[in-house]
Structure 1
Amino acid sequence: MPKDHLNTMFRGAMILSISSLVAKILSAVYRIPFQNMVGNTGFYVYQQIYPIYGIGMTFALNGFPTFISKLVAEQPDETSKSLVTRRVFHILSVLSLLIFLTLQLGANWIAMRMGDIKLAPIIGAVAWMFVFMPWLATGRGYYQGQFLMGPTAVSQLIEQTVRVGVILMAAYFSLHRGWDDYHMGAWAMSSAAIAAVCSSVIFASFGLRHLLAPAPAATHPLPSYRKLAHRFIVEGGTLCLVAAVVILLQLIDSFSVMRGLVRQGQPIEIAKSIKGVYDRGQPLVQLGLVVATSFSATLLPALTNALAKRQFIEFKRHTRAMVHVSLALSMAATVGLVALMPQINRLLFGSMEGTTALRVYVFSILFAALITTYTSVLQSLDQYTAMIVGIIAGLATKIGLNYLMVVHFGINGASLATVASLGVMFAVMWVGSPEDLQQVLLESGYLVKLLFVSGLMGVVVLLTSHEIQALVGPTMAANRGMTGIITLVGVIVGVVVFVAGAVAMRLFTIREWLVLPYGKRLMKSVLKGKEHHS
């Protein structure tokens, strides 16, 4: 592969990674003020339908564009690229129409299966985003296939910014104009279609030129609609499934947690509020995953480069660094959240309800980060079997356990079922992955060192928060401002203990330290300290 072509590809990947990171942070952070404005029941209403939006976003932003970009890149000339894109648009238009009609006509049935018929109008509101899916997915996929990531990055940022703005406006009007939770939810979910309209503008010239203009004469044989549809189902479906793992678990929750709580004996209105408390875990997990995977993801271009140049030893080194950094950051985030959960819960959401359930739920970060990292490596090796089998096994575990666990243990049971299903997913992927990839977690006693450092950090953070609370007294400790101070001190102490433990235990190689923020500066300080000591 020519050097300038590789540079263009890596620069594009970096642009898309940065925009994705900003969009993910936006997507996680807005839910905290939103929950504070609308309360537990309002948050429940929004989160019940959110997984349907999340699946649509996966189709339009990650799964199908990635597959379409591969199709476009396979074509020999510009005319073929344009014609294949046009055929893909037709196939996606049929798919999106089917989804739209299913959601519109089946809204009452879906809402009843979720245990709340009042959700039907909100399902109808979110359905409109699927009308714009073909336009967005083909536009993004076409430009990515040309290694032009700018349009995708800009459309992604526009979409998230507009959507978050509309959602927070809906919450504001709900608060000040006395809207009920379902009216607010319908407007909040309308944000998906409004944002899709705004981001679609980016692809106006692309659409006029490649989708709506008269089709040029073919210069080479094109894949048939039947063959393309088959590849959409197999390859595109696989990419969508991988990208939507956590969202699919949330969808299962939407159909079983509320009903399980009612079966347990909770009054319907109380059950809605409890489900809203359980849903607090989702932004926490999302933020934890951003921290855990964003830095390791910076190694993806190097991984692709090593594979393209057939530098297999370098590929293994980069893989090892990705897995180690992702696991360490996800472990640190998980243990830190568990230790500080009472304070974080009160600080962000105004109460300590559901602290135990949230403590269990955040263990999802650990397994979800590993699944994300392993799927990135397996995709680069074109090994899909272990991923698909693992995801199906995990979803089956969640479906099989969730309702019964909620009936017997409430939202603690739902959290346990989520963590267990992700654990099954990762275990199946790990067993089905190449031996070299299996050994990455076990070599040099890495796992033992990490467990020791993380455990030490957790104990120190717990003791620190308890000492501060004892010092200021229970009344002062319950103040939201003081809770913020305790949380901040706990985070700083946790970072210092984890970094010091990692250096002392030689947890990371120099390559792995360089991936981490301020890792290069830390390595220089450690080396200077050794020189001075000697």
Structure 2
Amino acid sequence: MPKEHLNTMFRGALILSISSLVAKILSAVYRIPLQNMVGNTGFYVYQQIYPIYGIGMTFALNGFPNFISKLVAEQPDETSKSLVTRRAFHILSGLSLVIFLGLQLGANWIAIRMGDVRLAPIVSSVAWMFIFMPWLATGRGYYQGQFLMGPTAVSQLIEQVVRVGVIIMAAYFSIHRGWDDYHMGTWAMSSAAFAAICSSLVFTGFGLKHLLAPAPTATRPLPSYRKLTKRFIVEGGTLCLVAAVVILLQLIDSFSVMKGLVAQGQLPEIAKSLKGVFDRGQPLVQLGLVVATSFSATLLPALTNALAKRQFIEFKRHTQAMVHVSLALSMAATVGLIVLMPQINRLLFGSLEGTTALRIYVLSIIFAALITTYTSVLQSLNQYTAMIIGIVAGLVTKLALNYTLVVRYGINGASLVTALSLAVMFGIMWLGSPDDLQQVLLESGYVIKLLAISAAMGIVVLISSHEIQALVGPAMANNRGIAGIITLVGVVIGIIVFVGGAVVVRLFSIREWLVLPYGKRLIKAVAKGKEHHS
């Protein structure tokens, strides 16, 4: 691959990574003011239907665009690229029409299966976004196939900003105009269609030229619609499945948690509120994942480059750095959240409800981060079997156990099954990955060192938070400001203890330190300290 071509690809990957990071942060953070504005039941109404939106955006943003970019990159000339994109658009249009009609005609059925028939209009409102899915997916896929990531990045940011804006406006109007939770939910979910319209405008020029203009004459034979459809189902479907893992678990929760709580003996209104409390875990896990995977993802272009140049030792080193950094950050975030959960729960959501369930739920961060990292590596190696088997096994685990454990243990049971399902997924992926990739976690006692540092950090942060609580006294215990101070102090102490412990036990290699923020400065500071002592 020419050097200029590689540089363009890496610049594009960086642009897309930054926009994805901003979009993920926005997607996680807006839920906190939303819950504060509409309460537990309003949050339940929104979160029940959110997984349908999430799956649609996975189709339009990750799974199908990535597959279409591969199709486009395979074509030898511009005419073939344009024609294969047009065929992909036709196939996706058929799929999106089937999904749209299925959601519109089946809205009542879906709502009843979720245990709340009043959710039907919200299902109908979110269905409209699927109309725009073919346009978005083919536009993004075409430009990505040309190594131009700018249009995808811009459309991604527009989509999130517009959607979050409409959702917060819907919550605001629900408070000031006395809307009920379901009316608010309908408008909040209509944000998906508004956002899709606005982000689709980025691809107007592309659509007029490649989708709506008269088709150019083919210069060479193209893959048939039948062959392309088969590849969409197998290859595109696999990419969508991998990208939608956490959302699919949330979808299973939508169909089983509320019904399980009612079967347990809770009144429907109490069950809705409890489901809203359980859903507090989703933004926490999402934020934890952003922290855990964003820095390790910076190694992806280097990983691709090493593989393209057949530099297998370098590929292994980059893989090890990705896994080590991702696991360390996810472990630190998880232990910190577990220890500080009472304060975080009060600070962000205004109460201590569901603290135990949330502590269990955030264990998902570790396994979800490892799944994200391992899938990136396995995809670069074109090894999909272990991924698919792992994901299917995890989803079957969730389906089989969720309702039963909710009936028995309430929302604690749902949290436990989520973490267990992700653990099953990762376990199978790990066992099915190449030996070199398995050994990455086992080399040089890395996991034992990490567990020791995390335990030390957790104990120090726990003692510190108890000391501050004792200092301010029980009268101030329910104050959100005090909870914020304890959280902030806990985070600072946790970082100091974790980084200090990592330096002492030599948890990271120099390559791994350089991936982390201020890692370069830390290496220099440690080197100067050694020189000073010697």
Q: Which runs of 5+ in 2 are unaligned?
A: none
Rounded Cα–Cα distance in structure 2 between residues aligned with 1:463 and 1:253: 35
1:233 paired with 2:238, answer: no
Query: Does the residue aligned with 1:147 lie in a helix, a strand or coil?
Result: coil
**Displacement, 1:72?**
0.2
**Displacement, 1:406?**
0.1
1:396-420 deviations in Å (ceiling 9; x for gaps): 0000010000000000000000000
Query: Does the residue aligned with 1:222 lie in a helix, a strand or coil?
Result: coil
Rounded Cα–Cα distance in structure 2 between residues aligned with 1:358 and 1:268: 21
1:160 paired with 2:156, answer: no
The equivalent residue for 1:447 is: 447
Q: Which runs of 5+ in 1 are unaligned?
A: none
1:67-108 deviations in Å (ceiling 9; x for gaps): 000000000100000000000000000000000000000000
The equivalent residue for 1:273 is: 273
1:55 paired with 2:77, answer: no
Rounded Cα–Cα distance in structure 1 between residues aligned with 2:426 and 2:191: 34
The equivalent residue for 1:385 is: 385
- AA at the equivalent of 1:66: N
Rounded Cα–Cα distance in structure 2 between residues aligned with 1:240 and 1:316: 26
The equivalent residue for 1:524 is: 524
Q: Trace 1:284-299 onto structure 2 (pairs within 5 A).
A: 284-299=284-299
Rounded Cα–Cα distance in structure 2 between residues aligned with 1:487 and 1:477: 13
Q: Trace 1:246-257 onto structure 2 (pairs within 5 A).
A: 246-257=246-257
Rounded Cα–Cα distance in structure 1 between residues aligned with 2:422 and 2:197: 35
Rounded Cα–Cα distance in structure 2 between residues aligned with 1:479 and 1:469: 11
The equivalent residue for 1:474 is: 474
Rounded Cα–Cα distance in structure 2 between residues aligned with 1:114 and 1:32: 24
- AA at the equivalent of 1:497: V
The equivalent residue for 2:120 is: 120
Rounded Cα–Cα distance in structure 2 between residues aligned with 1:199 and 1:414: 35
1:217-240 deviations in Å (ceiling 9; x for gaps): 000100000000000000000000
The equivalent residue for 1:334 is: 334
The equivalent residue for 2:176 is: 176
The equivalent residue for 1:493 is: 493
**Displacement, 1:474?**
1.2
1:116-135 deviations in Å (ceiling 9; x for gaps): 00000000000000000000
**Displacement, 1:496?**
0.3
Query: Does the residue aligned with 1:219 lie in a helix, a strand or coil?
Result: coil
**Displacement, 1:451?**
0.1
Rounded Cα–Cα distance in structure 1 between residues aligned with 2:385 and 2:422: 17
- AA at the equivalent of 1:492: V
- AA at the equivalent of 1:500: G
The equivalent residue for 2:367 is: 367
Query: Does the residue aligned with 2:222 lie in a helix, a strand or coil?
Result: coil
Size of the alignment, in residue pairs?
Answer: 534
**Displacement, 1:163?**
0.2
The equivalent residue for 1:323 is: 323
Query: Does the residue aligned with 1:507 lie in a helix, a strand or coil?
Result: coil
**Displacement, 1:333?**
0.3
The equivalent residue for 1:303 is: 303
The equivalent residue for 1:39 is: 39
**Displacement, 1:475?**
1.5
The equivalent residue for 1:140 is: 140
The equivalent residue for 2:407 is: 407
The equivalent residue for 1:211 is: 211
Rounded Cα–Cα distance in structure 2 between residues aligned with 1:421 and 1:158: 33
- AA at the equivalent of 1:415: S
The equivalent residue for 1:243 is: 243
Identity of matched residues, %: 84
The equivalent residue for 1:429 is: 429
Rounded Cα–Cα distance in structure 1 between residues aligned with 2:99 and 2:481: 46
1:119-152 deviations in Å (ceiling 9; x for gaps): 0000000000000000000000000000000000
The equivalent residue for 2:73 is: 73
- AA at the equivalent of 1:277: V
Query: How large is the RMSD of aligned CA atoms in angstroms?
Result: 0.3
- AA at the equivalent of 1:123: V
The equivalent residue for 2:263 is: 263
1:466-491 deviations in Å (ceiling 9; x for gaps): 01001110111221111100100000
Greater than 6 Å deviation, 4+ residue runs: none
Rounded Cα–Cα distance in structure 2 between residues aligned with 1:422 and 1:401: 13
Query: Does the residue aligned with 2:507 lie in a helix, a strand or coil?
Result: coil
Rounded Cα–Cα distance in structure 1 between residues aligned with 2:282 and 2:465: 24
1:279-307 deviations in Å (ceiling 9; x for gaps): 00000000000000000000000000000
What is the TM-score of this pair, normalised by structure 1? 1.00
1:252-271 deviations in Å (ceiling 9; x for gaps): 00000000000000000000
The equivalent residue for 2:197 is: 197
- AA at the equivalent of 2:11: R
**Displacement, 1:500?**
0.2
What is the TM-score of this pair, normalised by structure 2? 1.00
1:338-384 deviations in Å (ceiling 9; x for gaps): 00000000000000000000000000000000000000000000000
Query: Does the residue aligned with 2:241 lie in a helix, a strand or coil?
Result: helix
The equivalent residue for 1:111 is: 111
Rounded Cα–Cα distance in structure 2 between residues aligned with 1:90 and 1:425: 34
- AA at the equivalent of 2:479: N
Rounded Cα–Cα distance in structure 2 between residues aligned with 1:516 and 1:109: 48
